[in-house]
Structure 1
């Protein structure tokens, strides 16, 4: 009868970008030393995955093993649950029609509020007659003094 004294953990794959290695996060709780509230702690393990079976989001069981590299001391024992991942990632989707990105309210009251806001903006943009006189164009008949004409 053999006794396994190796540590076993269950965690979630957060990175699978390396060859035959994935990064697994194991969450555990411990009481805060001062406030005694239960606090979530996270530990990241580099895990050996010889067949590159693990995918992002999978829940797996890992087992402690001999050192395989500088930071890798765990290996995948079993994939407990596969994570469903969309085949097309959000960053791969390209929007060709920019009108899709413009906010279009669905509620009729929101349309009325937006229309009132547009009317008030137009009223503030119109100039009063006094302001129009202040901004009268300057006569171009009077030449301005240039550097050549100034006494030196």
Structure 2
């Protein structure tokens, strides 16, 4: 039972506030200073036909370290750094050959 005057939805919102999304993608461009473009691909099943389709999204991510094109990186949500940059590179999973 929750406390008197406490809304369960408000309590849940406070608990989930600190959770940041973390995704894995491949670097497609590193031509900007301290910014890389990361292609994030995911497979989704069509609700009616059942075919799996690859859906992709490109995001701009902030990085301080040297990241090359083709690297597999993990990006995490952060506060807006600029107009288009709301992700940051957490780690490099695999270097490009």
Which of 1 and 2 has higher RCO (CA within 8 Å, sep 6+)?
A: 2
Aligned to 1:60, which of 38, 57, 73?
73
| Higher strand fraction (1 or 2) | 2
Aligned to 2:86, which of 73, 89, 92?
73
Work out which of the two has the higher radius of gyration on C-alpha atoms and give 1 or 2.
1
| Higher helix fraction (1 or 2) | 1
Q: Report the 3-state secondary structure (helix = DSSP H, G, I; strand = E; otherwise coil) of the residue aligned with 2:96.
A: coil
Distance 1:75 1:58 in 2: 15
Q: Figure out how many residues of one structure are paired with residues of the other and give that number.
A: 81
Query: Structure 1 stretches of 5 or more lacking a match?
Result: 85-152
TM-score of the superposed pair, with normalisation by structure 2: 0.77
Map Cα deviations across residues 107-143 of structure 1 (whole Å, 9 max, x no partner): xxxxxxxxxxxxxxxxxxxxxxxxxxxxxxxxxxxxx
TM-score of the superposed pair, with normalisation by structure 1: 0.50
